Every structure is written in structure tokens, then in C-alpha cells.
Amino acid sequence: MEFFRIKKDIPFMKHALIFNAISFLTFALAVFFLLTRGLHLSVEFTGGTVMEVAYVQPAELSKVRETVAALGYPDVQVQTFGSARDVMIRLPVQKDVTSAQQSERVLTALKAADPEVTLRRTEFVGPQVGEELVHGGLMALGMVVLGIVIYLAFRFEWKFGVAAIIANLHDVVIILGFFAFFQWEFSLSVLAAVLAVLGYSVNESVVIFDRIREAFRKYRKMTTHEVIDHAITSTMSRTIITHASTEAMVLSMFFFGGPSLHYFALALTIGILFGIYSSVFVAAAIAMWLGVKREDLIKTNTKKDGDPNDPNAGATV
């Protein structure tokens, strides 16, 4: 489905150097902030105290969050589990304060707001769990990257695999750079969003690469620059429809999903916006500079019995 069609190819590759210069600058800034500021990791990574409390009536999470935040926990995680009356609270580690002291202070504040609240369970999650989560997250990211490269190398050509992974890892680092610069809390849900963005961006790259392969087969007199420009231009309508509808859903989570989905939706929003840029412009430009050509995607054969004047003779696809 297309809402519109651009009849004249846009010369994107004419400005490929500018696109990649902007990409490199943004990437460098993201790495700088990651190294200087670091990520503000959540309790799931750093360790802390987990409390489970029960209310007689369905709990108002916003009030619970405000009560706990007033004690000096601005990024506290508050969520229901099991039922609307059961609430889980995750508290970060504080220096010179034990887990028992933390839970006692929080319970006292909650009882001041609602005397009928009761403590079900309190538990200290050590940093060892956080280390395991970090290791598992990095392993997941590494396996995704390896799988993408292998998939694209088999489906298209290794140059496309390298180009796609460079462009899409650029998206991941930029998301992390935003979280480091603004010191937004980095939790497991944000990590899930980062991995989702990686797969989402790869899907866009595959569409572009598939159009490039089709253009190489169809327009034999076009240069590589012209083929890539035509492929990107022909997917503009699809790109706008797909990303606009996805972003509408993500923004609804951002504005109406509450604090538990806030950073998840924020990471997706950043990833989608930069994913459009990198998949459409950066990945194609890198593939071009790696020297992709028609012969890489279309194997040719010289047939003994065939008409030498037949333009299709000897071409196998």
C-alpha cells in the first residue's frame, strides 16, 4: 500500500558523506557520555531492597510512588503483582543504610498514608544478581549481532551484513548515550527496548537491501549510486507508513502507559527515529563504500548453447 509515489529518484548518495559525518559525530558524543557519565543502572543491575506490601483496597501506585520518593528515592520502581492490592517496591542501595532500615522507613511512611497497609516480604537483592543480568544482557546483544550478520551474509552478501550491523549498532550506542547524558534510569525493560530497536532497524535495512538487489536486476545500465538512490526512493512511502504507525503506538505508551512504561517507550522512540536515519541512509552508504556491485548479487554464467545477443542469456538469479 502506498499513499504517494515519488516519480523522480532523490540523490541520497550524493550527500552520503554528510549523512555519515552526522552519524559519526552523534556516535562519538554518545560514546563520550557513556565513558564520562555512565549509565544510571536500576536496582535490577546494582542490587537493592525489594519490598512486597498489601493493601485492603486497590493501591494507587502514583500515591505510593510519591510517598516513597519523598524519602529520597526519586527513581523508585513501584508496580502491582498478582492483584491490584499487592504492590512491589524496589529500592536502590544507599550508603550506610541497611536493607532492614530501608524497609522500616518506607513501611512507616506508607502506614502514615494508609494505616491498613501490611508488609508481606522484604528481601535484599545482592549485586551478584546485577552482574549476572549485565552478563546475560551483553550475551543476548552479542548473539543478536552475530545472527544478523550471518543472516544478511547468506541472504544478500557479506558487505550488506557488515553495513547493516555497523548502522544498527550505531542506533544502540546512541540510545545508551541519551540515557547516560540525561541520567535516565536504565532497567531491564530499557534493555528489552534496545534489543527490539536492533531487530526493528534490521528489518528496515533488509527491505532497502532487497530493493537494491531488485534494482540491480531490473536496471542494468544504472550505476551503483543510481541503484541505491532508486531503491531508497521507492521505499519512502512504505517507510513513512510503517514508522508513523509504530511511533503512534509507542507514543501512546509514553504518554498514557504510566511510569512503568515511560523509559521503555522513550528508548523505543529514540531508537525508531535514529533507526529510520541509519537504515535508510547510513547502511546503504556504508555498503556502497564497501564496494557492493551488481556482480555481488547476480551470479553470471556463460552458456555454450545460447544466443549471444540475448540480454538475458547467461544470467541466473
pLDDT over 90 (residue 28): yes
Q: How many domains does the chain have?
A: 2
**pLDDT score of 268:** 94
Residues 16 and 70 in one domain: no
Query: For position 14, what pLDDT does the model report?
Result: 87
- As a whole number of angstroms, the distance between CA 82 and CA 80 comes to 7
At 243, which CATH number?
A: 1.20.1640.10
Q: Is residue 306 part of a domain?
A: no
Residue 30 burial by Cβ neighbours in a 10 Å radius (0-12, 13-18, 19+): buried
Q: Could you tell me if 109 and 177 lie in one domain?
A: no
Residue 305 within a domain: no
Among 87, 107, 125, the domain boundary falls at: 125
Q: What integer is the mean pLDDT of 244-255?
A: 92
Residue 25 sits in the same domain as residue 158: yes
158 belongs to a structural domain: yes
Q: What pLDDT was estimated at residue 40?
A: 85
Cell output for 89: 517496591
Same domain, 254 and 212: yes
Task: Name the domain boundary from 84, 107, 125.
Answer: 125
Cell of 164: 547493516
Tell me, yes or no, whether 286 lies in a domain: yes
Residue 295: pLDDT over 60: yes
The reply to whether 169 and 121 lie within a common domain is no
Q: Is residue 310 part of a domain?
A: no
Is 240 inside a domain boundary? yes
Percentage of the chain exceeding pLDDT 70: 90
Residue 317: band (very low, low, confident or very high) from pLDDT cuts 50, 70, 90: very low
Compute the average pLDDT of residues 100-112. 91
Average pLDDT over residues 36-61: 87
pLDDT value of position 313? 45
How does pLDDT run across 271-285, given as a tens digit for each residue? 998 888 887 788 888
Residues 66 and 207 grouped into a single domain: no
User: Tell me, what's the pLDDT at 127?
Assistant: 65
Same domain, 95 and 186: no
User: What does the pLDDT look like over 125-147, one tens digit per residue?
Assistant: 776 556 776 777 778 778 877 88
The CATH code of the domain that includes 59 is: 3.30.70.3400
- Same domain for 176 and 214, yes or no, is yes
Range of the domain at 65: 48-125
Residues 140 and 157 in one domain: yes
> Which amino acid belongs to residue 94?
Q
Residue 258's pLDDT band (cuts 50, 70, 90): confident
Rounded to an integer, what distance in angstroms lies between the CA atom of residue 252 and that of residue 236? 24
**Are both 183 and 252 inside the same structural domain?**
yes
Which of 93, 109, 125 is the C-terminal boundary of a domain?
A: 125
Residue 155 DSSP one-character state: H
Residues 159 and 213 in one domain: yes
Angle between helices 16-36 and 259-277 (to 10 degrees): 150
Is 309 domain-assigned? Answer: no
pTM (predicted TM-score): 0.78
Can you say whether the dihedral through the CA atoms of 285, 290, 293, 298 is positive or negative? negative
pLDDT of 16 above 70: yes
Distance from C-alpha of 115 to C-alpha of 197, rounded to nearest angstrom: 44
Per the prediction, the chain carries an average pLDDT of: 83
In this predicted model, which residue has the larger pLDDT, 265 or 93? 265
Residues 156 and 242 in one domain: yes
Per the domain annotation, does 311 fall within a domain? no
